[in-house]
């Protein structure tokens, strides 16, 4: 398949000329073969990972992509894991075997089979194979446990080999509106969300290939962590973004203080932004005198009020209503001038015909002084400008945010030099709606760009001809093809465009008004009300998969209830699916997290851990000055594969930043969100609690990041919610290591 795609691709690339239709076909083929090659590369590892045997002796092999045996009547050699026929591989159980007698997990390294693991789904099949009932061969979960116990690499792996049935139901859900997947830490929400994207792209390829799928995650580290999963499932047409980067052309570089983030996330900001835009539609304090062709005209409050009223009552966005305002003012000024000119001649204003007055208006429109004054009163504005100016001035803020007290106004004021923040992106998006974009100029620029591309191409062809050997001119030999014979300028320009052809995801990323076919929001509890508005604008059909856990909300403007966030868009019409099994955190750690969850929401239950690690988490109290050294010793005691994370409040994390390396991360809770590590050290948990009004949720997130071991190092009293941890007197990880060394 590889060599077929490679050969076809090079053939397509060599072809040239032809009708526009032929060219566009070539383009699609070249894209298709390129994507095929990427898909085959991605499926290189674990190409085939399973097989099911059915009662009627049929065998089905399941893998990362589908393969048909073309010469043999297109028989299926390998089923794509997303195909309906592959589904029993994930769903069959001894209680409901669905015709399956045996499920085989096949593990491979490159092309070599390294392990085969069979589960017999009926006693008959097990006995026939000579497996005793108590041998653990029936319904074992060894493939899953092997995957879960493996050391972490810093990148998420796909779970196609071991998708569990409650996860499968969500991945393949046919629900066409908002589906909320709520589940505790480690229940596979992220994994499920990514596999759902792959499944939907496979099943609704036609529909989604053009519109694309958008996946929103909490931060760049997280996107990097999950970034490998979709290509390994063979899907490249997905845009991954954070909320902060969703507004095209702006990257969130600043960070808001908690109160500012909370205020910016609230729906009250809609009113504030509306006011901020209206405040830019100004009335002159006193009449403005304008010189126009040796006459003095007056622009007074009354004229401007009337023009502004007309423009506002059009209900168009600010920039699109601007021409109405401009006409209103120019009409009034032209009438004024006509009156002045008329008064100066016998016969009065009637002397000026309509055409004369129309000419005057045109001249006024091209008079820079007149237009400058009008521009001051109703300027053309960009969202960035309005937001920047609003948060830079106490006066503007006070005028727009009339309900806020002084402390809140201060919280919103931007520190000079700071960039836009993640909470600003939804505000920019809102402003873009309020301002409207007059894209006439952009369209004209695109036309000009195209013309100049054709001219460049023409130039290139001329040079090619000019630099041809002289004797060709003298004795033009018909069998030597000149560039001109093959291609004309517009074709060449088109070719260059093909070189920079954008994928659906790339085009969508640059277009604020792009509407996606499906949107998946991970860690959705972190989205503020304003962020929801921004996302929902991009998905008018409301086909959204929402994945999150309200007990893990850190953002002060984030969700405490899904209903509250979704109400404005779908009222009650959303479906809830829950995940109840924790695949990450061992049971010993979850026991310790119980009191923390109870403090967040006494009504919610902990997800059940699928495995034990055999190691109990512990806490160690040391002097404040010794916290740093203790953590360093623990990190140094880690050897071998696996990742260690130190999770702490901002200040403690900053003081330990230098120990970060390839296998060690030092993170705040916000940065650790959604990630996982083999070993986790939480430093100064009380400070995590104190740092935010959602401190308890943050502590819960920190506690549930480890796949193997957890330790807490603290200098003050241990928070009450952590008393389930073993209180130890010395650094166990270092002791364990020393003991291992002695042995
Ligand atoms: N069916 C499965 N087979 C193998 N591994 C799985 C399966 N389901 C989940 N996992 C693994 O469990 C871990 C946790 O999954 P994931 O990160 O998706 O959980 P989450 O619910 O998003 O967690 P959190 O809310 O804490 O961010 C990951 O390493 C994931 O690969």
pLDDT single digits (tens) 571-596: 999 999 999 999 999 999 999 999 99
Ligand 1 pocket, residue 183 CB under 6 Å: yes
The pLDDT, as a whole number, for residue 448 is 72
CA nearest neighbour of 213 among 174, 240, 189: 240
pLDDT by residue (tens digit) across 647-662? 999 999 999 999 998 8
Residues 212 and 275 in one domain: no
Question: Is 476 within a domain?
Answer: no
Residues 725 and 594 in one domain: yes
* C-alpha 2 to ligand 1 mean position (Å): 32
Question: Is 666 within a domain?
Answer: yes
Instruction: Provide the pLDDT confidence category of residue 346 given band limits of 50, 70 and 90.
Output: low
Residue with CA at minimum distance from ligand 1 atom 25: 185
Ligand 1 pocket, residue 144 CB under 6 Å: yes
3-state helix, strand, coil in the chain (%, to 5): 50, 15, 35
Residues 123 and 268 in one domain: no
Ligand 1 pocket, residue 553 CB under 6 Å: no
Residue with CA at minimum distance from ligand 1 atom 29: 584
Angle in degrees, CA 154, 115, 111, rounded to 5: 75
Residues 26 and 89 in one domain: no
Residues 333 and 378 in one domain: yes
pLDDT by residue (tens digit) across 154-183? 777 788 888 888 999 999 999 999 999 999
* C-alpha 370 to ligand 1 mean position (Å): 64
pLDDT by residue (tens digit) across 275-324? 999 999 999 988 898 888 888 889 999 999 999 999 999 999 999 999 99
User: Is 188 annotated as contributing to ligand binding?
Assistant: yes
Instruction: Provide the pLDDT confidence category of residue 737 given band limits of 50, 70 and 90.
Output: low
The pLDDT, as a whole number, for residue 440 is 59
Please determine, for residue 270, whether its predicted confidence score (pLDDT) is greater than 80.
Answer: yes
User: Is 187 annotated as contributing to ligand binding?
Assistant: yes
B/e letters for 536-561, b = 16+ CB within 10 Å, e = fewer, are bbbbeeebbbbbbbbbbbbbbbbbee
* C-alpha 211 to ligand 1 mean position (Å): 28
User: Is 274 annotated as contributing to ligand binding?
Assistant: no
* C-alpha 678 to ligand 1 mean position (Å): 13
Q: Is this prediction's ipTM beyond 0.90?
A: yes
Domain of 227 in residue numbering reads as: 178-247+512-580
Ligand 1 pocket, residue 336 CB under 6 Å: no
Question: Is 460 within a domain?
Answer: yes
User: Is 183 annotated as contributing to ligand binding?
Assistant: yes
Alpha carbons 148 and 162: distance in angstroms, whole number: 10
User: Is 186 annotated as contributing to ligand binding?
Assistant: yes
Domain boundary (140, 164, 198) is at 140
* C-alpha 302 to ligand 1 mean position (Å): 65
The pLDDT, as a whole number, for residue 242 is 93
Number of domains in the chain: 6
Please determine, for residue 349, whether its predicted confidence score (pLDDT) is greater than 70.
Answer: no
Mean pLDDT of 113-142: 68
Residues 266 and 412 in one domain: yes
Q: What is the CATH number of the domain that holds 727?
A: 3.40.50.300
* C-alpha 229 to ligand 1 mean position (Å): 12
Ligand 1 pocket, residue 159 CB under 6 Å: yes
Residues 369 and 301 in one domain: yes
Alpha carbons 647 and 668: distance in angstroms, whole number: 6
* C-alpha 676 to ligand 1 mean position (Å): 9
Given the structure tokens 């505000």, which residue do they identify? 427
What is the DSSP track for 369-434? HHHHHHHHHS----HHHHHHHHHH-HHHHHHH-TT--HHHHHHHSPPTT---BTTHHHHHHHHHHH
Ligand 1 pocket, residue 46 CB under 6 Å: no
The pLDDT, as a whole number, for residue 743 is 46
Ligand 1 pocket, residue 188 CB under 6 Å: yes
30 or 397: whose pLDDT is higher? 397
CA nearest neighbour of 430 among 536, 520, 544, 309: 536
259 or 221: whose pLDDT is higher? 259
Mean pLDDT of 73-80: 92
Question: Is 629 within a domain?
Answer: yes
Please determine, for residue 674, whether its predicted confidence score (pLDDT) is greater than 80.
Answer: yes
Mean pLDDT of 332-338: 90
Ligand 1 pocket, residue 217 CB under 6 Å: no
Query: Best of 50, 90, 161, 191 to mutate for ligand 1, by most ligand atoms within 8 A of CB?
Result: 191
117 or 277: whose pLDDT is higher? 277
Q: Residue 568 is encoded by which pair of tokens?
A: 């404005």
Mean pLDDT in the chain?
A: 86
Residues 517 and 500 in one domain: no
Instruction: Provide the pLDDT confidence category of residue 149 given band limits of 50, 70 and 90.
Output: confident
- The atom of ligand 1 lying closest to the CA of 583 is 12
Residues 496 and 574 in one domain: no
Instruction: Provide the pLDDT confidence category of residue 696 given band limits of 50, 70 and 90.
Output: very high
- The atom of ligand 1 lying closest to the CA of 152 is 29
CB neighbours of 159 closer than 8 A, spacing ≥ 6? 147, 167, 188, 191, 195
Residues 321 and 338 in one domain: yes
Please determine, for residue 338, whether its predicted confidence score (pLDDT) is greater than 90.
Answer: no
Q: Residue 160 is encoded by which pair of tokens?
A: 């196609």
Please determine, for residue 496, whether its predicted confidence score (pLDDT) is greater than 70.
Answer: no
* C-alpha 670 to ligand 1 mean position (Å): 18
Question: Is 428 within a domain?
Answer: no
pLDDT by residue (tens digit) across 539-567? 999 999 999 999 888 888 889 899 999 99
Residue with CA at minimum distance from ligand 1 atom 16: 188
CB 189 within 8 Å of CB 181: yes
- The torsion of the CA quartet 377, 383, 388, 393, rounded to 10 degrees, works out to 40
The pLDDT, as a whole number, for residue 453 is 66
Residues 25 and 88 in one domain: no
Mean pLDDT of 357-375: 90
331 or 32: whose pLDDT is higher? 331
The pLDDT, as a whole number, for residue 262 is 95
Residues 186 and 305 in one domain: no
- Whole-number percent of the chain with pLDDT over 90: 51
CB 563 within 8 Å of CB 180: no
CB 715 within 8 Å of CB 621: yes
User: Is 302 annotated as contributing to ligand binding?
Assistant: no
Mean pLDDT of 350-370: 84
Query: Best of 186, 523, 607, 680 to mutate for ligand 1, by most ligand atoms within 8 A of CB?
Result: 186
pLDDT by residue (tens digit) across 206-226? 888 888 899 999 888 888 888
Question: Is 448 within a domain?
Answer: yes
- The atom of ligand 1 lying closest to the CA of 157 is 31
The pLDDT, as a whole number, for residue 351 is 67
Domain boundary (383, 416, 449) is at 416
Question: Is 477 within a domain?
Answer: no
Q: Residue 612's Cα: distance from chain center in Å?
A: 34
* DSSP code at position 178: E
Residue with CA at minimum distance from ligand 1 atom 1: 163
Q: Residue 554 is encoded by which pair of tokens?
A: 């850190």
* C-alpha 608 to ligand 1 mean position (Å): 13
CB 22 within 8 Å of CB 30: no
Domain boundary (580, 598, 627) is at 580
CB 153 within 8 Å of CB 505: no
Question: Is 55 within a domain?
Answer: yes
């Amino acid at each position: 398949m590889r060599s077929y795609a490679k050969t076809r691709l090079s053939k397509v690339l060599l072809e040239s000329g032809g009708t526009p239709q032929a060219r566009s076909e070539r383009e699609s083929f070249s894209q298709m073969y390129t994507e095929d090659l990427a898909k085959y590369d991605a499926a290189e590892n674990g190409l085939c990972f399973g097989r099911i045997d059915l009662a009627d002796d049929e065998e089905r092999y399941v893998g990362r992509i589908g393969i048909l045996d073309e010469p043999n009547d297109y028989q299926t050699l390998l089923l794509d894991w997303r195909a309906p026929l592959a589904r029993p591989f994930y769903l069959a159980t001894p209680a409901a075997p669905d015709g399956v007698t045996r499920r085989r997990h096949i593990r491979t390294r490159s092309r070599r089979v390294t392990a085969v693991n069979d589960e017999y789904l009926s006693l008959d099949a097990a006995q026939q194979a000579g497996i005793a009932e108590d041998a653990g061969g029936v319904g074992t979960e060894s493939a899953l446990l092997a995957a879960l116990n493996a050391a972490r690499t810093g990148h998420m792996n796909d779970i196609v080999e071991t998708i569990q049935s409650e996860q499968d139901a969500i991945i393949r859900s046919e629900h066409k509106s908002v589906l909320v997947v709520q589940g505790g830490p480690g229940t596979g929400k992220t994994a499920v969300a990514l596999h759902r994207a792959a499944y939907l792209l496979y099943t609704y390829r036609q529909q989604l290939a053009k519109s694309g799928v958008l996946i929103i995650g909490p931060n760049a580290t997280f996107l990097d962590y999950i970034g490998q999963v979709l290509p390994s499932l063979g899907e490249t047409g997905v845009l991954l973004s954070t909320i902060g980067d969703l507004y095209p052309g702006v990257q969130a570089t600043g960070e808001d203080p908690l109160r500012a983030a909370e205020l910016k996330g609230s729906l009250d900001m809609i009113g504030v932004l509306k006011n901020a835009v209206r405040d830019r539609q100004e009335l002159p304090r006193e009449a403005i005198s304008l010189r126009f062709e040796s006459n003095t005209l007056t622009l007074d409050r009354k004229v401007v009020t009337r023009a502004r009223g007309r423009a506002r009552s059009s209900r168009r966005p600010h920039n699109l209503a601007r021409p109405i305002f401009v006409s209103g003012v120019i009409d009034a000024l032209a009438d004024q001038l006509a009156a002045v000119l008329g008064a100066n001649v016998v016969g009065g204003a009637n002397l000026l015909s309509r055409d004369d007055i129309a000419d005057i208006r045109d001249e006024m429109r091209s008079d820079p002084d007149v237009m400058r004054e009008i521009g001051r009163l109703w300027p053309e504005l960009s969202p960035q400008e309005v937001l920047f100016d609003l948060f830079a001035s106490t006066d503007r803020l006070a005028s727009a945010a009339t309900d806020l007290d002084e402390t809140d106004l201060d919280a919103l004021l931007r520190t000079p030099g700071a960039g836009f923040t993640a909470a600003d992106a939804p505000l920019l998006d809102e402003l873009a709606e309020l301002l409207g974009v007059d894209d006439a100029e952009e369209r004209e620029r695109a036309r000009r760009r195209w013309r100049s591309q054709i001219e460049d191409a023409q130039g290139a062809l001329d040079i090619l001809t000019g630099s041809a050997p002289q004797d060709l001119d003298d004795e033009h030999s018909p069998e030597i093809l000149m560039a001109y014979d093959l291609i004309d300028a517009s074709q060449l320009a088109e070719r260059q465009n093909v070189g920079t052809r954008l994928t659906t995801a790339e085009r969508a990323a640059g277009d604020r008004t792009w509407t996606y076919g499906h949107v998946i929001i991970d860690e959705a509890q972190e989205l503020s009300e304003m962020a929801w508005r921004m996302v929902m604008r991009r998905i008018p059909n409301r086909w959204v998969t929402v994945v999150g856990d309200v007990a893990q909300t850190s953002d002060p403007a984030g969700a405490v209830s899904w209903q509250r966030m979704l109400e404005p868009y779908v009222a009650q019409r959303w479906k809830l699916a829950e995940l109840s099994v924790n695949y990450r955190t061992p049971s010993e750690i979850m026991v310790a997290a119980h009191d923390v969850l109870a403090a967040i929401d006494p009504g919610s239950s902990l997800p059940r851990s699928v495995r034990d690690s055999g190691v109990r988490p512990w806490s160690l109290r040391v002097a404040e000055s010794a916290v740093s050294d203790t953590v360093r010793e623990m990190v140094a005691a880690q050897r071998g594969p696996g990742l260690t994370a130190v999770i702490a409040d901002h200040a403690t994390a900053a003081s330990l930043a230098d120990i970060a390396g390839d296998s060690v991360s030092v993170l705040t809770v916000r940065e650790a969100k959604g990630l996982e590590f083999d070993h986790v050290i939480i430093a100064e948990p009380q400070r995590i609690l104190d740092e935010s009004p959602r401190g308890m949720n943050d502590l819960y997130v920190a506690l549930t990041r480890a796949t193997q071991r957890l330790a807490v190092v603290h200098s003050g009293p241990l928070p009450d919610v952590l008393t389930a941890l073993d209180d130890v007197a010395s650094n166990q990880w270092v002791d364990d290591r020393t003991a291992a060394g002695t042995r």
